[in-house]
Amino acid sequence: MPDTTDHADDLLGGRYRLGETLGRGGMADVYRGEDVVLGREVAIKVVRSGADGVAADSRARGEVSVLAALNHPSLVTLYDAQLDADPPYLVMELVEGPTLTTRIARSPLTPSAAATMAAELGEALHVAHGAGVVHRDVKPSNVLLAPSPLPDHEFRAKLADFGIAYLVDTARVTNPGEVIGTAAYLAPEQVQGVDPAPPADVYALGLVLIESLTGKRAFPDAAGVATALARLEAPPEIPAELDPEWRDLLRDMTRIDPAERPTALDVAMRARALAATTSDARTESLPAAGAVAAGSAGAAMAA
């Protein structure tokens, strides 16, 4: 059993040793850490104090409620949470891999890799939606790519940062009508300030898949909410070079009317079928995990 008595005062909560900073966000900093009791590496999200301390603490409590209730291989696992500590902190699974943003910057995903990722993230969202949770900020920087042990799979996609998730049956942290999320990936109804619902996550995932396949954002000029209003009138352009099944799926996921979009489970099933029937001429592997990759993952969890 690891020795937890030496320098115990230097340990967070008497158990966690902080290492390098992996990422910084508006409400927290994320560190590589060590659980000296279990002898494993973890990611530790330390909530920052300050003028927004109350709001940050409320958001952190919401994230704990979400992550503690959800269990899926494509959701980042919560190990521990001490929100009454000074400072409050969360202890999570350390994902040793880059974000999807970093991966796309290297090259677009192959159709089969994108289909597998779509199925994994669709399943994760299905689990969340079934628990009454809407993520509200599905985007490439919130998708972490853990190296896969399987030779025919490039990675296992994991959805991170439920810090701004909306708990359907609980009090809202944000004000009614307040737009939360990243402008480039907002669904039309989010732009209008409508209460978040599962179709908004499906729409955002559709935009993420378009970007993954093409290397370009579906709405590249969406620098703010005002610009994002344009999507109320027209859906994103679906690349003509994609196979018909891909075009149909992406078109359905990004329909303007949320009632016309498939559920996350439908997306997962259709993507699984695409993955089974799609073959790629090339196979690429992720770069070796390290400080840069882990740092990208940590930045996603710091938001």
- Which two tokens mark 272? 């699984």
Mean pLDDT on 214-230:
72
Mean pLDDT on 207-225:
83
pLDDT band at 301 (very low <50, low <70, confident <90, very high): low
Q: Give me the CATH topology for the region 8-95.
A: Phosphorylase Kinase; domain 1 (3.30.200)
Least confident of 20-34, 57-71, 105-119: 57-71
Residues noted as catalytic: 137
Q: Which phi and psi angles does 118 have, rounded to 5°?
A: -60, -40
Least confident of 87-96, 102-111, 120-129: 87-96
Q: Give me the CATH topology for the region 100-292.
A: Transferase(Phosphotransferase); domain 1 (1.10.510)
- Which two tokens mark 286? 């992720």
CA gap 12, 10 in Å, rounded? 7
Of the segments 19-33, 53-67, 156-170, which one has the largest average pLDDT value? 19-33
- The confidence score (pLDDT) of residue 84 equals 80
Q: Where are the domains of the chain?
A: 8-95, 100-292
- The confidence score (pLDDT) of residue 221 equals 65
Q: Is the pLDDT of residue 258 over 50?
A: yes
The DSSP line for the chain is -----TTGGGSBTTTEEEEEEEEE-SSEEEEEEEETTTTEEEEEEEEPPSTTHHHHHHHHHHHHHHHHH---TTBPPEEEEETTSSS-EEEE----S-BHHHHHHH-PPPHHHHHHHHHHHHHHHHHHHHTTEE-S---GGGEEEEEPSSTT-SEEEEE---TT-EETTS--SSPTT---S-GGG--HHHHTTPPP-HHHHHHHHHHHHHHHHHSS-SSTT--SHHHHGGGGT-PPPPPTTS-HHHHHHHHHHT-SSGGGSPPHHHHHHHHHHHHHH---S----PPPPSHHHHHHHHHHHT-
- Which two tokens mark 55? 């709001």
55-74: pLDDT as tens digits:
556 666 666 676 677 889 99
